[in-house]
A and B are shown apart, each in its own frame.
Chain A
Amino acid sequence: DIQMTQSPSSLSAFVGDRVTITCRARQDISNYLAWYQQKPGKVPELLIYAASILQSGVPSRFSGSGSGTDFTLTISDLQPEDVATYYCQKYYTAPFTFGPGTKVDIK
């Protein structure tokens, strides 16, 4: 099975900051990677798929990049409503494993 890691596990930043979260796969997964946002007490929501394609309705301050084993999620202008835990998920082959998550909050 292909394991997924994320870094950092948590971060705190100011409103307006640029925030970057890294996701790594132990093997090449091409661009078969999705990102989800889970706000406190809420259900996860799809942000990005195919590593870099923004899901409809997601603010443009979110972006994704990467291919192969290394991927990033960037929030270009952090807003208070972005406080959440962010998960990457690989869908190259089953099992469709999630990363452990990165918790983002506001300083």
Chain B
Amino acid sequence: QVQLVESGGGVVQPGRSLRLSCAASGFIFSNYGMHWVRQAPGKGLEWLAVTWSDESNTYYADSVKGRFTISRDNSQNKLFLQMNSLRAEDTAAYFCARDHGVAYYFDSWGHGTLVTVSS
């Protein structure tokens, strides 16, 4: 079955960088767009970024544009999120999610990795 496993979270100081990974299995990774979504503690869901199946297009939320970069390695079935210039308000659980395939909603989610930005 579809499995998405995030890693790379942790505690980081403001202004520093972190790279998240999402390992995918149980489906043909290269056929699907992939997203990052986050959820601050006790708050709602915030969509962050998408990469198309062939990485030909990426889109970002305004809140992370210019600071975060989504990428993927289809040979390794992995999705990445490079996060630079981190701020306290970036503290959240970060989920990778699979695009349905023909539309930008999410039919499978990982369990998330927690990022805490604090000095």
Contacts and interface: CB of A to CB of B under 8 A. Distances in A.
B56 to A, nearest CB: 14
A98 B103 contact: no
A52 interface: no
Given A55-B107, A91-B104, A91-B105, A100 B59 contact: no
B95 interface: yes
Nearest to B107: A46
Q: How large is the interface on A (under 10, 10 to 19, 20 to 34, 35 or more residues)?
A: 20 to 34
B67 to A, nearest CB: 15
A71 interface: no
B106 A98 contact: no
Contacts of B44: 85, 87, 98-101
Nearest to A32: B103
A36 B37 CA distance: 13
Contacts of A36: 45, 106
4 nearest CB pairs, A to B: A94-B59, A34-B105, A91-B104, A98-B45
Interface of B: 35, 44-47, 50, 59-62, 95, 100, 103-107, 109-112
A10 to B, nearest CB: 12
A36 B44 CA distance: 12
Given A87-B44, A98-B47, A43 B105 contact: no
Contacts of B95: 43-44
B110 A46 contact: no
A100 B50 CA distance: 20
A1 B100 CA distance: 22
Given A43-B109, A43-B110, A55-B107, A95 B45 contact: no
A43 B112 contact: yes
Contacts of A91: 103-105
B45 A87 contact: yes
Given A44-B45, A87-B45, A98-B45, A49 B100 contact: yes
